[in-house]
Amino acid sequence: MEEVLFFAGALGALGGAVGVIAMRNPLYSVLALIVHLFSLAVLFLLLSAAFLAAAQVVVYAGAVMVLYVFVVAYVGGDQESAWEPIPGQRLLAPLLGIALFVELAIAVLGSSLLALGTEGPEVRPGFGDPAAIGTLLLEKFLIAFEASSILLLLAAVGAVVLAGRRRAGDAPAEHSAPEARSEDPPPAPTPGAPA
Q: Which of residues 63-102 bind another protein (CB under 8 A)?
A: 63-64, 67-68, 71-72, 74-75, 77-78, 80, 85-86, 89-90, 92-94, 96-101
- For residue 61, state whether it binds another protein (rule: CB under 8 A): no
Q: Can you tell me which of 12, 26, 38, 42 binds another protein, judged by CB under 8 A?
A: 26
Site residues for another protein, window 101-120 (CB under 8 A)? 101, 103-113, 115-120
CB under 8 Å to 132, separation ≥6 — which residues?
Answer: 51, 126
Residue from the set 12, 42, 49, 61 that interacts with another protein by CB under 8 A? 49
Q: Does 51 bind another protein (CB under 8 A)?
A: yes
CB of 88 to another protein, least distance (A): 9
| DSSP result, the chain | -HHHHHHHHHHHHHHHHHHHHH-SSHHHHHHHHHHHHHHHHHHHHHTT-HHHHHHIIIIIIIIIHHHHHHHHHHH--PPPPS---STTHHHHHHHHHHHHHHHHHHHHHH---GGGGS------TTTT-HHHHHHHHHHTTHHHHHHHHHHHHHHHHHHIIIII---TT-PPP-TT-----SSSPPPPSSTT---
In the region spanning residues 145 to 174, those forming contacts with another protein, defined by CB under 8 A, are 145-148, 150-163, 165, 167, 169-174
Among 12, 38, 42, 43, interactor with another protein by CB under 8 A: 43
Least distance between another protein and beta carbon 55 (Å) = 6
Contact status: 131 vs another protein (CB under 8 A): yes
